[in-house]
Amino acid sequence: MITMCSSSGLLSAILLGYFLRLLQLLSTCLAFSLVASVGTWMGAVSNWSVFIWCFCFLVTLIILIIEFCGLQSRFPFSWYNFLITYACYAALLCTSASIVYPITYIWFFPHGRSQDHAIAATAFSCIASVAYASEAAWARTWVWLGVITGYMVTVPGLLKGLETFVAGVIFAFIIDSHLYLHQPALVWCVAVYSICFLLAATALLLNWCDCDNRLPIAFPTFLLGLTLLSVLLYTTALVLWPLYQFDEQFGGQPERSSCNDGLIYSFCTWDQQLAVAILTAINLLIYVVDLVFLAHMVFSRTEDQLRGSQFPLLYKS
């Protein structure tokens, strides 16, 4: 009876996974098709949104083909860990496109077919976000039940994913080098974003490839060191970026003037600078939460080991 129930539950989970992936395929395909069909694809933000929808559609299609052909075991890494990681990132990416695209574009289109297609594309992007988030939540349930394992559905994994995602959004805003090349302090901030992104990505890749057990120290201790370094680096960026972008004494612009960049479907330079400052603060907060959680995990484990090592000492003469 237990075997029948577990088999039925596994079959239901598989069917739910296929349903969610078909919904993801349909919604992302409709999102970029609606934008491309009426010429509402213009500007850097639109390019980024269309890239997100096309990328998610392509990767989801490849995943479906691999699962239909039963090729999961051919890969040298945990397939379920990859699925969880991808679902989390795809949910974040589609959510960002669902927010940034309508804010930047819908209000500029006149009432008519172009605006209707942009609104519909945003709606399907929201549906894709919900579908990917539902897959991540579904995977988290199966991790709790012990059926599958996945680092990305743990608190440290989710925080590491958020850190790399926010850094990726920062990179999208600083793609124009004129924002920082004129000041060495701002170049340092960009270096901080890059270094911390690489550190977090390295931690994710080590766990994804099952290489975390090959480190000379415990993996949580390794993560604690990386996170502490990232907190220190991001603190310098949080101080220097607003100082050199918004303080007149350091050549900054304290107030937003009229946007004279000549681009309708884009962000003004001052808006980009402000967005990077806000995202820097958000990512620093995520790193601090990650640091506190990892410190509690490491010191709790160390304390338990010390308590366990005291019992043999009681029997020594």
Higher pLDDT, 276 or 256: 276
Using CB atoms within 10 Å of the CB of residue 296, give its burial: 0 to 12 exposed, 13 to 18 middle, 19+ buried: exposed
Q: Does the structure show a pLDDT above 80 at 266?
A: no
Dihedral, CA of residue 176, residue 182, residue 184 and residue 187, to nearest 10: 0
* Mutual angle of helices 2-37 and 113-144, in 10-degree steps: 160
**Which token pair is 93?**
């990416």
> In whole angstroms, how large is the CA radius of gyration of the chain?
23
The model's pTM: 0.77
Q: How far is CA 243 from the centre of its chain?
A: 27
Which pLDDT tens digit goes with each residue over 28-54?
999 989 888 766 556 666 778 888 999
Task: Indicate left, alpha or beta for 110 from its phi (over 0: left) and psi (-120 to 50: alpha).
Answer: beta
* Least confident interval from 50-64, 65-79, 260-274: 260-274
Distance (Å, rounded) from C-alpha 78 to C-alpha 176?
37
Q: Does the structure show a pLDDT above 50 at 133?
A: yes
DSSP alpha helix (H) spans, 38-78: 43-69
Determine contact, residues 220/298, Cβ cutoff 8 Å: yes
pLDDT value at position 315? 38
**Which token pair is 233?**
């680096």
Which pLDDT tens digit goes with each residue over 276-293?
999 999 999 999 999 999
**Which token pair is 29?**
């395909």
Annotate 283-311 with DSSP letters as a single string: HHHHHHHHHHHHHHHHHHHHHHHHHHHHH
Q: Does the structure show a pLDDT above 80 at 61?
A: yes
pLDDT value at position 3? 38
Distance (Å, rounded) from C-alpha 303 to C-alpha 290?
20
pLDDT value at position 236? 96
pLDDT confidence of 19, banded at 50, 70, 90? confident
Name the strand (E) or helix (H) holding 71.
Answer: none
Distance (Å, rounded) from C-alpha 203 to C-alpha 212?
8
